[in-house]
Amino acid sequence: MSFDLVLFGGTGDLAWRKLMPALFQAFRHRTLPEGGRIIAVARDDLSDEQYRSRIKSRFDCVELAKRPTPDEFARFAALLHYLRMDLSQTQDYQRLAQTLNARAADSVVMYVATAPSLFTNVCEQIAAVGLNGPGTRVVLEKPLGHDLRSNRAINDSLRRVLREEQVFRIDHYLGKPSVQNLFALRFGNALFEPLWRRETIANIQITIAEELGVETRGAFYDQTGALRDMVQNHALQLLCAIGMEPPINSGANAIRDEKLKVLQSLKPWTADTIGQHVIRGQYAAGNTQGQAMPGYLQEKGVAPGSSTETFVALRTEISNWRWAGVPFYIRTGKRLAGRDAHIVVNFHPVPHPIFRTPAGVANRLVINLQPKDGLELHLLAQGAAQHQSEPALSQVHLNLDFEQRFGTERVGAYERLLLDVIAGRLNLFVRSDEQQEAWRWVEPILQHWQDDPVGPRPYAAGSWGPSAASAMIARDGYCWSEEV
């Protein structure tokens, strides 16, 4: 199957750090279909050879095991081409159309790795020169809009020039091996599904913690914040994967229909519940791994006195028969104590204990997303021989490390998603109605914060966020996983 992959923003940060390394890994693994061509598009005045040379120098920065040998890169570089374009000029799209039409590949992937403000214009220009035919697929990065209204406007524009099945709204968390195995765990095994409900599960926690600050993205982040950057997309997609009902099959629409039902079932916000169950914070100066770190307001590009949140913790519920009354806790932030993304499923303790157990300890399932991928099942067991009349149990755990188990067979998130786009598989991409429901749910929080004179709570860089986040979960009698 021949394909052309057009990478708008081909000299940008996402292309350097994620997309080109992922495409090379697919090439190395021999999963990238033969007959492919990768056309990078940007405003820089470069030849094919100059662009290939830039990519080669960038590969020096990737992990040693993922760097190409000279022979590997020479063969991969033969796929790379460069086209100078000004994305505001129709005649430049006409030149792109000539380049693509001359080859007439089976499918054309347009990956729009640009500023979100350009998404609509790029898609309209693609259509204006006739590049929106049935073999075209358009990949859009987040954020798709700034709120519900802007998201609707973008999707309405897309519908005028593209069919829904041609639009691939990417969320790289859905491509992570651990998230894939979350679906496999639930719907490929008989063990957990009977337990996956309110009668056996006490609470579920989703944590996406970053050790880094805003780095060079201060100006962008200051207009976005943690709720838009992480909760509206990544965290809610993870919540859907955990909370959804079994789909009727593994088809894209069957899966996305069930995710949509979860988003529609999330308990709506009121002013009172936002005040009690949503905590926002902003990192102040602190210490990370022995190094002093500046506060958010001292970061380059951040407006003086900014009230943008760099941390969000919240409590919600899914209002249906399976999950009624089970709290779901979401927590994400920058400059936290570590880089750690995981999901913790905490089970109820046994209803009638006959053994002595550590206080507050029960079974739990941990799905690790980063920096390690894997599953941990925490159980209670009896160790050395005991002579007490009431034997004591201690905690043990079973650990499936995907790195150790699958090794070189593992496929990175962007590699998997790029291959799915080329093949036309929509299972791991977000449908427009899903995205709209997610915006609808977070919008009352955004509106509440606009009218809130208090602003975000400060927390020291290198901590786990404001103490109010621990107080929020403690009101239910629970604690975050690192506090156990």
Residue pair 262/269 in contact by the 8 Å Cβ criterion? no
Residue pair 111/420 in contact by the 8 Å Cβ criterion? no
Q: Is 325 left (phi over 0), alpha (psi -120 to 50) or beta?
A: left
Angle at 327 between CA 324 and CA 333, to 5 degrees: 145
Residue pair 435/151 in contact by the 8 Å Cβ criterion? yes
- Type of residue at 153: A
Count CB neighbours of 447 within 10 A: 14
**How far is Cα 214 from Cα 218, in angstroms, rounded to an integer?**
5
**How far is Cα 363 from Cα 382, in angstroms, rounded to an integer?**
14
**How far is Cα 470 from Cα 449, in angstroms, rounded to an integer?**
20
**How far is Cα 81 from Cα 102, in angstroms, rounded to an integer?**
15
Q: How far is CA 164 from CA 115, 136, 160, in A?
A: 21, 12, 10
Catalytic residues, by residue number, are 234
HEC string of 190-212? CCCHHHCCCCCEEEEEEEEECCC
Selection from 13, 112, 124, 121 nearest residue 421 by Cα: 112
Residue pair 40/83 in contact by the 8 Å Cβ criterion? yes
Q: Which residues pair with 333 in a beta bridge?
A: 209, 311
Selection from 157, 169, 275, 299 nearest residue 222 by Cα: 299
**How far is Cα 484 from Cα 479, in angstroms, rounded to an integer?**
7
Reading the block at residue 1, the tokens are 């199957």
Angle at 45 between CA 39 and CA 47, to 5 degrees: 55
**How far is Cα 53 from Cα 40, in angstroms, rounded to an integer?**
13
**SS3 at position 58:** helix
Alpha-carbon 205 to chain mean position? 16
Residue pair 348/201 in contact by the 8 Å Cβ criterion? yes
Q: How far is CA 462 from CA 217, 227, 279, in A?
A: 19, 20, 18
Report whether the peptide linkage leading into residue 143 is cis, meaning its omega lies within 30 degrees of zero.
yes
